[in-house]
Structure 1
Amino acid sequence: MSTDIGLTPSSTAAEVQEALAALENPKMRAVNEKRGDDFGVNLGKLRALAKALKSNQELAVELWKTGQTTPRLVAILICKPRAFSLDDLEHWIREGDRPKVQGWFLSYVVKKSKHLEELRQRLMQDPDPVIASAGWELTAHQVIKAPDNLDLDKLLDVIEAEMKQAPERLQWAMNNTLAQIGISNAGLRARALEIGETLQVLADYPTSPGCTSPFAPIWINEMVKRQSD
Protein backbone atom coordinates (compact mmCIF):
# COMPACT_ATOMS: atom_id res chain seq x y z
CA MET A 1 0.00 0.00 0.00
CA SER A 2 2.85 2.39 0.82
CA THR A 3 4.22 1.94 -2.73
CA ASP A 4 0.91 3.15 -4.18
CA ILE A 5 0.85 6.11 -1.82
CA GLY A 6 4.47 6.99 -2.48
CA LEU A 7 5.26 7.79 1.16
CA THR A 8 7.74 6.22 3.55
CA PRO A 9 8.74 6.83 7.20
CA SER A 10 11.32 9.34 5.94
CA SER A 11 8.79 11.47 4.01
CA THR A 12 8.60 15.18 4.77
CA ALA A 13 5.58 17.21 5.82
CA ALA A 14 5.49 18.80 2.37
CA GLU A 15 5.40 15.39 0.71
CA VAL A 16 2.57 14.29 3.00
CA GLN A 17 0.58 17.41 2.13
CA GLU A 18 1.13 16.76 -1.56
CA ALA A 19 -0.12 13.19 -1.20
CA LEU A 20 -3.18 14.40 0.72
CA ALA A 21 -3.96 17.00 -1.93
CA ALA A 22 -3.99 14.24 -4.54
CA LEU A 23 -6.63 12.39 -2.53
CA GLU A 24 -8.94 15.40 -2.19
CA ASN A 25 -12.52 14.84 -3.39
CA PRO A 26 -14.62 18.03 -3.75
CA LYS A 27 -17.93 16.15 -3.37
CA MET A 28 -16.75 14.52 -0.14
CA ARG A 29 -15.59 17.90 1.13
CA ALA A 30 -19.04 19.38 0.47
CA VAL A 31 -20.67 16.59 2.50
CA ASN A 32 -18.22 17.02 5.39
CA GLU A 33 -18.61 20.79 5.42
CA LYS A 34 -22.28 20.33 6.29
CA ARG A 35 -21.07 18.67 9.50
CA GLY A 36 -18.64 21.45 10.36
CA ASP A 37 -15.53 19.77 8.97
CA ASP A 38 -13.30 20.98 6.17
CA PHE A 39 -11.74 17.99 4.46
CA GLY A 40 -12.49 15.88 1.40
CA VAL A 41 -10.21 12.88 1.83
CA ASN A 42 -11.51 9.34 2.27
CA LEU A 43 -10.56 8.37 5.82
CA GLY A 44 -9.63 4.82 4.85
CA LYS A 45 -7.09 6.19 2.37
CA LEU A 46 -5.89 8.71 4.95
CA ARG A 47 -5.31 5.89 7.44
CA ALA A 48 -3.35 3.93 4.83
CA LEU A 49 -1.21 6.99 4.22
CA ALA A 50 -0.52 7.35 7.94
CA LYS A 51 0.33 3.64 8.20
CA ALA A 52 3.01 4.12 5.54
CA LEU A 53 4.58 6.91 7.62
CA LYS A 54 4.60 4.87 10.86
CA SER A 55 4.95 6.47 14.31
CA ASN A 56 6.80 9.79 14.11
CA GLN A 57 6.28 12.50 16.73
CA GLU A 58 8.52 15.05 15.00
CA LEU A 59 6.64 14.75 11.71
CA ALA A 60 3.33 14.81 13.60
CA VAL A 61 4.24 18.16 15.13
CA GLU A 62 5.18 19.57 11.71
CA LEU A 63 1.92 18.39 10.19
CA TRP A 64 -0.06 19.83 13.08
CA LYS A 65 1.54 23.23 12.59
CA THR A 66 0.10 23.45 9.06
CA GLY A 67 -3.25 24.28 10.66
CA GLN A 68 -5.04 22.16 8.04
CA THR A 69 -7.48 19.40 8.94
CA THR A 70 -6.19 16.50 6.84
CA PRO A 71 -2.53 16.92 7.87
CA ARG A 72 -3.72 17.21 11.47
CA LEU A 73 -5.66 13.95 11.19
CA VAL A 74 -2.51 12.26 9.93
CA ALA A 75 -0.56 13.87 12.77
CA ILE A 76 -2.95 12.33 15.28
CA LEU A 77 -2.49 8.88 13.76
CA ILE A 78 1.32 8.96 13.74
CA CYS A 79 2.03 10.86 16.97
CA LYS A 80 3.15 9.26 20.23
CA PRO A 81 0.56 9.87 22.98
CA ARG A 82 3.13 9.52 25.76
CA ALA A 83 5.21 12.32 24.27
CA PHE A 84 2.58 14.93 25.20
CA SER A 85 2.76 16.93 28.41
CA LEU A 86 -0.46 18.16 29.99
CA ASP A 87 0.09 21.61 28.47
CA ASP A 88 0.79 20.06 25.05
CA LEU A 89 -2.51 18.19 25.17
CA GLU A 90 -4.43 21.30 26.12
CA HIS A 91 -2.71 23.34 23.40
CA TRP A 92 -3.64 20.84 20.69
CA ILE A 93 -7.22 20.63 21.98
CA ARG A 94 -7.57 24.40 21.78
CA GLU A 95 -6.12 24.55 18.27
CA GLY A 96 -7.84 21.47 16.86
CA ASP A 97 -11.46 22.48 17.26
CA ARG A 98 -12.87 20.89 14.08
CA PRO A 99 -15.23 18.04 15.03
CA LYS A 100 -13.24 15.22 13.40
CA VAL A 101 -9.89 16.53 14.65
CA GLN A 102 -11.18 16.97 18.19
CA GLY A 103 -12.86 13.57 18.21
CA TRP A 104 -9.80 11.73 16.93
CA PHE A 105 -7.43 13.56 19.25
CA LEU A 106 -9.53 12.71 22.28
CA SER A 107 -9.90 9.06 21.26
CA TYR A 108 -6.42 8.30 19.96
CA VAL A 109 -4.25 10.51 22.15
CA VAL A 110 -5.87 11.99 25.26
CA LYS A 111 -7.63 8.80 26.37
CA LYS A 112 -4.25 7.03 26.30
CA SER A 113 -2.54 9.72 28.36
CA LYS A 114 -1.72 9.69 32.06
CA HIS A 115 -2.90 13.33 32.05
CA LEU A 116 -6.47 12.45 31.01
CA GLU A 117 -8.17 13.21 34.32
CA GLU A 118 -6.35 16.47 34.99
CA LEU A 119 -7.03 17.68 31.46
CA ARG A 120 -10.69 16.68 31.76
CA GLN A 121 -11.07 18.84 34.83
CA ARG A 122 -9.43 21.81 33.12
CA LEU A 123 -11.61 21.61 30.02
CA MET A 124 -14.93 21.06 31.79
CA GLN A 125 -14.96 24.60 33.17
CA ASP A 126 -13.90 26.37 29.98
CA PRO A 127 -16.20 29.20 28.84
CA ASP A 128 -15.78 28.17 25.19
CA PRO A 129 -18.50 25.55 24.56
CA VAL A 130 -16.35 23.76 21.96
CA ILE A 131 -13.52 23.31 24.46
CA ALA A 132 -15.96 22.41 27.23
CA SER A 133 -17.47 19.78 24.95
CA ALA A 134 -14.08 18.05 24.87
CA GLY A 135 -14.15 17.98 28.66
CA TRP A 136 -17.61 16.45 28.64
CA GLU A 137 -16.59 13.80 26.11
CA LEU A 138 -13.73 12.84 28.40
CA THR A 139 -16.20 12.78 31.28
CA ALA A 140 -18.41 10.32 29.38
CA HIS A 141 -15.32 8.16 28.94
CA GLN A 142 -14.48 8.36 32.64
CA VAL A 143 -18.04 7.41 33.61
CA ILE A 144 -17.17 4.00 32.17
CA LYS A 145 -13.45 3.75 32.90
CA ALA A 146 -12.97 5.62 36.19
CA PRO A 147 -16.32 6.50 37.79
CA ASP A 148 -14.72 6.82 41.25
CA ASN A 149 -13.06 10.02 40.02
CA LEU A 150 -16.45 11.60 39.39
CA ASP A 151 -19.37 12.99 41.36
CA LEU A 152 -22.10 11.45 39.21
CA ASP A 153 -24.96 13.06 41.11
CA LYS A 154 -23.43 16.50 40.61
CA LEU A 155 -22.91 15.79 36.92
CA LEU A 156 -26.59 14.94 36.59
CA ASP A 157 -27.47 18.19 38.36
CA VAL A 158 -25.44 20.17 35.80
CA ILE A 159 -26.89 18.24 32.87
CA GLU A 160 -30.42 18.76 34.14
CA ALA A 161 -29.86 22.50 34.54
CA GLU A 162 -27.78 23.27 31.44
CA MET A 163 -28.08 20.69 28.66
CA LYS A 164 -31.33 21.95 27.16
CA GLN A 165 -29.86 25.39 26.38
CA ALA A 166 -26.31 24.28 25.56
CA PRO A 167 -24.83 24.89 22.07
CA GLU A 168 -25.00 21.86 19.79
CA ARG A 169 -21.57 20.26 20.29
CA LEU A 170 -21.63 20.82 24.04
CA GLN A 171 -25.17 19.47 24.17
CA TRP A 172 -24.12 16.30 22.34
CA ALA A 173 -21.25 15.73 24.77
CA MET A 174 -23.44 16.31 27.81
CA ASN A 175 -26.06 13.97 26.36
CA ASN A 176 -23.35 11.34 25.86
CA THR A 177 -22.41 11.67 29.53
CA LEU A 178 -26.06 11.41 30.58
CA ALA A 179 -26.50 8.22 28.56
CA GLN A 180 -23.30 6.64 29.87
CA ILE A 181 -24.34 7.33 33.47
CA GLY A 182 -27.71 5.71 32.83
CA ILE A 183 -26.18 2.72 31.07
CA SER A 184 -23.37 1.99 33.53
CA ASN A 185 -24.91 2.97 36.88
CA ALA A 186 -28.04 1.06 37.83
CA GLY A 187 -28.58 3.20 40.93
CA LEU A 188 -28.76 6.40 38.90
CA ARG A 189 -30.52 4.94 35.86
CA ALA A 190 -34.01 6.05 36.83
CA ARG A 191 -32.88 9.63 37.35
CA ALA A 192 -30.94 9.66 34.06
CA LEU A 193 -34.00 8.39 32.23
CA GLU A 194 -36.20 10.99 33.92
CA ILE A 195 -33.84 13.83 32.95
CA GLY A 196 -33.79 12.63 29.36
CA GLU A 197 -37.56 12.38 29.18
CA THR A 198 -38.04 15.80 30.76
CA LEU A 199 -35.52 17.66 28.57
CA GLN A 200 -36.38 15.82 25.31
CA VAL A 201 -32.93 16.66 23.90
CA LEU A 202 -32.44 14.82 20.56
CA ALA A 203 -35.84 13.14 20.91
CA ASP A 204 -36.65 13.92 17.27
CA TYR A 205 -33.17 13.24 15.89
CA PRO A 206 -33.46 11.25 12.63
CA THR A 207 -32.00 7.78 13.09
CA SER A 208 -31.19 5.34 10.28
CA PRO A 209 -32.70 1.84 10.39
CA GLY A 210 -30.61 -0.48 12.53
CA CYS A 211 -29.01 2.40 14.46
CA THR A 212 -29.73 3.40 18.05
CA SER A 213 -31.27 6.82 18.63
CA PRO A 214 -29.08 9.34 20.49
CA PHE A 215 -32.14 10.29 22.57
CA ALA A 216 -30.88 9.29 26.02
CA PRO A 217 -33.88 7.25 27.25
CA ILE A 218 -33.93 5.12 24.08
CA TRP A 219 -30.14 4.82 24.07
CA ILE A 220 -29.97 3.82 27.76
CA ASN A 221 -32.75 1.26 27.55
CA GLU A 222 -31.37 -0.29 24.38
CA MET A 223 -27.85 -0.69 25.75
CA VAL A 224 -29.05 -2.06 29.09
CA LYS A 225 -31.21 -4.57 27.19
CA ARG A 226 -28.20 -5.68 25.14
CA GLN A 227 -26.13 -6.14 28.27
CA SER A 228 -28.78 -8.37 29.82
CA ASP A 229 -29.38 -10.50 26.70
Structure 2
Amino acid sequence: MNLQTVMQELEALSKERTKKMYISNGAHEPLFGVATGAMKPIAKKIKINQSLAEELYATGNYDAMYFAGIIADPKAMTESDFDRWIDEAYFYMLSDYVVAVTLAEADIAQVVADKWIASGEELRMSAGWSCYCWLLGNRLDVEFSESKIANMIEIVKNTIHVSPERTKSAMNNFLYTVGVSYLPLHEMAVETAKTVGPVEVKRDKKKSSFLHAFESIQKEVDRGRLGFKRKYVRC
Protein backbone atom coordinates (compact mmCIF):
# COMPACT_ATOMS: atom_id res chain seq x y z
CA MET A 1 0.00 0.00 0.00
CA ASN A 2 1.17 3.52 -0.74
CA LEU A 3 0.33 6.93 0.71
CA GLN A 4 -2.59 7.53 -1.65
CA THR A 5 -4.30 4.18 -1.00
CA VAL A 6 -3.89 4.48 2.79
CA MET A 7 -5.36 8.00 2.74
CA GLN A 8 -8.30 6.72 0.67
CA GLU A 9 -8.91 3.83 3.09
CA LEU A 10 -8.73 6.15 6.09
CA GLU A 11 -11.13 8.62 4.50
CA ALA A 12 -13.60 5.79 3.82
CA LEU A 13 -13.65 5.05 7.58
CA SER A 14 -14.43 8.65 8.56
CA LYS A 15 -17.32 9.45 10.87
CA GLU A 16 -18.61 12.99 11.38
CA ARG A 17 -19.28 12.34 15.07
CA THR A 18 -15.70 11.15 15.62
CA LYS A 19 -14.38 14.16 13.72
CA LYS A 20 -16.34 16.54 15.96
CA MET A 21 -15.03 14.78 19.06
CA TYR A 22 -11.41 15.11 17.89
CA ILE A 23 -11.93 18.78 17.04
CA SER A 24 -13.42 19.41 20.51
CA ASN A 25 -10.18 17.97 21.95
CA GLY A 26 -7.94 20.26 19.88
CA ALA A 27 -7.58 18.63 16.46
CA HIS A 28 -8.00 20.81 13.38
CA GLU A 29 -8.29 20.33 9.63
CA PRO A 30 -7.15 18.34 7.79
CA LEU A 31 -8.64 15.29 9.49
CA PHE A 32 -11.19 12.60 8.61
CA GLY A 33 -12.45 11.44 12.00
CA VAL A 34 -11.48 7.76 12.12
CA ALA A 35 -11.96 5.71 15.30
CA THR A 36 -8.58 4.23 16.28
CA GLY A 37 -9.98 0.69 16.45
CA ALA A 38 -11.19 0.98 12.85
CA MET A 39 -7.56 1.41 11.73
CA LYS A 40 -6.50 -2.07 12.86
CA PRO A 41 -7.39 -3.97 9.66
CA ILE A 42 -5.28 -1.56 7.57
CA ALA A 43 -2.43 -1.82 10.08
CA LYS A 44 -2.53 -5.63 9.86
CA LYS A 45 -2.07 -5.42 6.10
CA ILE A 46 0.90 -3.03 6.34
CA LYS A 47 2.49 -4.11 9.64
CA ILE A 48 5.66 -1.97 10.05
CA ASN A 49 6.68 0.49 7.33
CA GLN A 50 8.79 3.43 8.47
CA SER A 51 9.02 5.21 5.12
CA LEU A 52 5.23 5.11 4.70
CA ALA A 53 4.83 6.25 8.33
CA GLU A 54 6.99 9.29 7.58
CA GLU A 55 4.91 10.16 4.51
CA LEU A 56 1.67 9.85 6.47
CA TYR A 57 2.95 11.92 9.40
CA ALA A 58 4.09 14.67 7.04
CA THR A 59 0.55 15.12 5.65
CA GLY A 60 -0.51 17.04 8.78
CA ASN A 61 -3.78 15.09 8.68
CA TYR A 62 -4.55 14.01 12.27
CA ASP A 63 -5.82 10.54 11.35
CA ALA A 64 -2.85 9.92 9.06
CA MET A 65 -0.46 11.12 11.78
CA TYR A 66 -2.07 8.79 14.31
CA PHE A 67 -1.87 5.86 11.87
CA ALA A 68 1.79 6.71 11.22
CA GLY A 69 2.48 5.97 14.90
CA ILE A 70 0.88 2.53 14.56
CA ILE A 71 3.05 1.42 11.62
CA ALA A 72 6.27 3.27 12.52
CA ASP A 73 9.50 1.43 13.39
CA PRO A 74 10.61 3.19 16.62
CA LYS A 75 13.98 1.45 16.67
CA ALA A 76 14.77 2.86 13.21
CA MET A 77 14.02 6.44 14.34
CA THR A 78 16.77 8.76 15.53
CA GLU A 79 16.58 11.51 18.12
CA SER A 80 16.22 14.08 15.34
CA ASP A 81 13.33 12.04 13.86
CA PHE A 82 11.51 12.14 17.19
CA ASP A 83 12.26 15.86 17.56
CA ARG A 84 10.77 16.44 14.12
CA TRP A 85 7.65 14.47 15.07
CA ILE A 86 7.17 16.35 18.33
CA ASP A 87 7.65 19.68 16.49
CA GLU A 88 4.68 18.77 14.30
CA ALA A 89 2.52 17.44 17.16
CA TYR A 90 0.24 20.43 17.57
CA PHE A 91 -1.99 19.12 20.38
CA TYR A 92 -1.88 16.59 23.21
CA MET A 93 -3.50 13.65 21.39
CA LEU A 94 -0.50 13.69 19.03
CA SER A 95 2.19 14.52 21.58
CA ASP A 96 1.06 12.08 24.29
CA TYR A 97 -0.68 9.30 22.35
CA VAL A 98 1.30 9.15 19.11
CA VAL A 99 4.79 10.56 19.60
CA ALA A 100 5.25 9.53 23.26
CA VAL A 101 3.90 6.03 22.57
CA THR A 102 6.18 5.55 19.55
CA LEU A 103 9.17 6.87 21.51
CA ALA A 104 8.42 4.44 24.37
CA GLU A 105 9.33 1.53 22.08
CA ALA A 106 12.69 3.03 21.09
CA ASP A 107 15.98 2.21 22.83
CA ILE A 108 16.66 5.96 23.18
CA ALA A 109 13.31 6.60 24.91
CA GLN A 110 14.60 7.82 28.28
CA VAL A 111 17.34 9.99 26.77
CA VAL A 112 14.90 11.82 24.48
CA ALA A 113 12.12 12.02 27.09
CA ASP A 114 14.53 13.55 29.65
CA LYS A 115 15.44 16.33 27.22
CA TRP A 116 11.78 17.03 26.46
CA ILE A 117 10.88 17.18 30.16
CA ALA A 118 13.65 19.76 30.68
CA SER A 119 12.62 21.82 27.60
CA GLY A 120 10.10 24.13 29.28
CA GLU A 121 7.74 23.68 26.29
CA GLU A 122 4.25 22.45 27.20
CA LEU A 123 3.72 19.65 24.68
CA ARG A 124 7.36 18.53 24.70
CA MET A 125 7.22 18.27 28.49
CA SER A 126 3.86 16.52 28.30
CA ALA A 127 5.21 13.99 25.79
CA GLY A 128 8.31 13.39 27.95
CA TRP A 129 6.30 12.65 31.10
CA SER A 130 3.80 10.61 29.08
CA CYS A 131 6.61 8.55 27.58
CA TYR A 132 7.69 7.55 31.09
CA CYS A 133 4.09 6.52 31.81
CA TRP A 134 4.13 4.19 28.81
CA LEU A 135 7.60 2.91 29.77
CA LEU A 136 6.84 2.28 33.45
CA GLY A 137 3.57 0.60 32.56
CA ASN A 138 5.29 -1.85 30.23
CA ARG A 139 8.97 -2.44 31.05
CA LEU A 140 10.39 -4.35 34.01
CA ASP A 141 11.14 -2.32 37.15
CA VAL A 142 14.84 -3.25 36.94
CA GLU A 143 15.15 -1.27 33.68
CA PHE A 144 14.83 2.02 35.59
CA SER A 145 17.08 3.87 38.01
CA GLU A 146 15.19 4.09 41.30
CA SER A 147 17.00 7.29 42.30
CA LYS A 148 16.14 8.89 38.96
CA ILE A 149 12.43 8.06 39.26
CA ALA A 150 12.48 9.30 42.88
CA ASN A 151 13.99 12.58 41.69
CA MET A 152 11.25 12.87 39.05
CA ILE A 153 8.62 12.37 41.75
CA GLU A 154 10.19 15.28 43.67
CA ILE A 155 10.01 17.45 40.53
CA VAL A 156 6.30 16.63 40.23
CA LYS A 157 5.69 17.46 43.89
CA ASN A 158 7.46 20.83 43.61
CA THR A 159 6.26 22.01 40.19
CA ILE A 160 3.01 20.33 39.13
CA HIS A 161 0.70 23.11 40.29
CA VAL A 162 2.65 25.78 38.38
CA SER A 163 3.30 23.78 35.19
CA PRO A 164 1.50 24.28 31.84
CA GLU A 165 -1.93 22.63 31.66
CA ARG A 166 -1.14 19.61 29.50
CA THR A 167 2.11 19.06 31.38
CA LYS A 168 0.15 18.99 34.65
CA SER A 169 -2.04 16.22 33.28
CA ALA A 170 0.96 14.14 32.16
CA MET A 171 2.78 14.70 35.47
CA ASN A 172 -0.31 13.59 37.39
CA ASN A 173 -0.47 10.49 35.20
CA PHE A 174 3.23 9.85 35.88
CA LEU A 175 2.58 9.93 39.64
CA TYR A 176 -0.34 7.53 39.19
CA THR A 177 1.71 5.20 36.97
CA VAL A 178 4.62 5.04 39.43
CA GLY A 179 2.12 4.34 42.22
CA VAL A 180 0.57 1.44 40.33
CA SER A 181 3.26 0.01 38.04
CA TYR A 182 6.65 0.74 39.66
CA LEU A 183 6.72 -1.22 42.92
CA PRO A 184 10.03 0.11 44.36
CA LEU A 185 8.53 3.60 44.76
CA HIS A 186 4.86 2.78 45.32
CA GLU A 187 4.86 4.24 48.84
CA MET A 188 6.70 7.41 47.77
CA ALA A 189 4.24 7.95 44.92
CA VAL A 190 1.26 7.48 47.27
CA GLU A 191 2.63 9.92 49.87
CA THR A 192 3.48 12.48 47.17
CA ALA A 193 0.03 12.12 45.61
CA LYS A 194 -1.50 12.85 49.05
CA THR A 195 0.72 15.93 49.42
CA VAL A 196 -0.02 17.19 45.89
CA GLY A 197 -3.77 16.76 46.34
CA PRO A 198 -6.21 17.58 43.53
CA VAL A 199 -4.65 19.12 40.42
CA GLU A 200 -6.72 21.62 38.46
CA VAL A 201 -6.32 21.44 34.69
CA LYS A 202 -7.87 24.36 32.82
CA ARG A 203 -9.25 23.65 29.35
CA ASP A 204 -10.25 26.00 26.54
CA LYS A 205 -13.99 26.67 26.45
CA LYS A 206 -14.63 23.84 28.92
CA LYS A 207 -14.84 23.56 32.68
CA SER A 208 -11.60 22.83 34.52
CA SER A 209 -11.01 19.19 35.37
CA PHE A 210 -9.58 18.09 38.71
CA LEU A 211 -7.17 15.16 38.77
CA HIS A 212 -6.59 13.10 41.92
CA ALA A 213 -3.60 10.75 41.56
CA PHE A 214 -4.02 9.43 45.12
CA GLU A 215 -7.65 8.38 44.54
CA SER A 216 -6.75 6.81 41.18
CA ILE A 217 -3.89 4.79 42.71
CA GLN A 218 -6.14 3.56 45.55
CA LYS A 219 -8.78 2.38 43.08
CA GLU A 220 -6.18 0.23 41.29
CA VAL A 221 -4.82 -1.11 44.59
CA ASP A 222 -8.36 -2.05 45.63
CA ARG A 223 -8.79 -3.93 42.35
CA GLY A 224 -5.61 -5.93 43.04
CA ARG A 225 -3.75 -4.32 40.13
CA LEU A 226 -0.65 -3.20 42.02
CA GLY A 227 2.38 -3.98 39.85
CA PHE A 228 0.31 -4.04 36.65
CA LYS A 229 2.30 -4.05 33.40
CA ARG A 230 0.94 -3.79 29.85
CA LYS A 231 2.04 -6.52 27.46
CA TYR A 232 2.38 -4.02 24.62
CA VAL A 233 2.74 -0.23 24.44
CA ARG A 234 1.21 0.16 20.98
CA CYS A 235 -2.08 -1.59 20.24
Shorter-chain TM-score bucket reads 0.7 to 0.9
Partner of 1:224: 221
Partner of 1:47: 40
> Number of matched residues?
209
- C-alpha change, 1:186 and 1:81, in structure 2 (3 Å) is closer
Contact 1:20 / 1:46 at 8 angstroms: preserved in 2?
A: yes
Deviation at 1:190, TM superposition (A): 4.8
Contact 1:183 / 1:220 at 8 angstroms: preserved in 2?
A: yes
Which amino acid is the alignment partner of residue 162 of structure 2?
Answer: Q
Structure exhibiting the larger radius of gyration computed from Cα positions: 1
Partner of 2:112: 119
Q: Which has the higher helix share?
A: 1
Q: Does 1:179 align with 2:172?
A: no
Q: Does 1:128 align with 2:128?
A: no
Contact 1:37 / 1:99 at 8 angstroms: preserved in 2?
A: no
Partner of 2:204: none
Q: Does 1:13 align with 2:3?
A: yes
Partner of 1:104: 98
Which amino acid is the alignment partner of residue 56 of structure 1?
Answer: N
Contact 1:179 / 1:192 at 8 angstroms: preserved in 2?
A: yes
2-structure distance, mates of 1:96, 1:33:
15
Query: Which structure 1 residue ranges, 5 or more long, are not aligned?
Result: 1-10, 205-212
CA deviation profile, 1:145-179 (whole Å, cap 9, x unmatched): 43316523322322122111322211111111212
Q: 1:181-200, aligned counterparts within 5 Å?
A: 181-184=178-181, 188-200=185-197
CA deviation profile, 1:16-38 (whole Å, cap 9, x unmatched): 22222222222211122222234
Contact 1:13 / 1:59 at 8 angstroms: preserved in 2?
A: yes
- C-alpha change, 1:191 and 1:69, in structure 2 (3 Å) is same
2-structure distance, mates of 1:157, 1:63:
39
1-structure distance, mates of 2:174, 2:37:
29
Partner of 2:206: none
SS in 2 for 1:151: helix
Contact 2:104 / 2:135 at 8 angstroms: preserved in 1?
A: no
SS in 1 for 2:104: helix
User: What TM-score, normalized to structure 1?
Assistant: 0.78
2-structure distance, mates of 1:122, 1:185:
22
Partner of 1:153: 150
Deviation at 1:128, TM superposition (A): 1.0
Query: Which structure 2 residue ranges, 5 or more long, are not aligned?
Result: 202-209, 227-235
1:26 to 16, 24, 29: 16
Q: Does 1:92 align with 2:82?
A: no
Structure with higher RCO (Cα < 8 A, 6+ apart) = 2
SS in 2 for 1:112: coil
Deviation at 1:134, TM superposition (A): 0.9
Segment drifting more, 167-176 vs 183-192: 183-192
Q: 1:50-69, aligned counterparts within 5 Å?
A: 50-69=43-62
RMSD: 2.7
2-structure distance, mates of 1:114, 1:155:
20
2-structure distance, mates of 1:185, 1:56:
32
- C-alpha change, 1:194 and 1:114, in structure 2 (3 Å) is closer
Segment drifting more, 83-92 vs 216-225: 216-225
Q: Which has the higher strand share?
A: 2
- C-alpha change, 1:184 and 1:46, in structure 2 (3 Å) is closer
Deviation at 1:203, TM superposition (A): 8.1
2:131 to 109, 134, 138: 138
2-structure distance, mates of 1:186, 1:20:
41
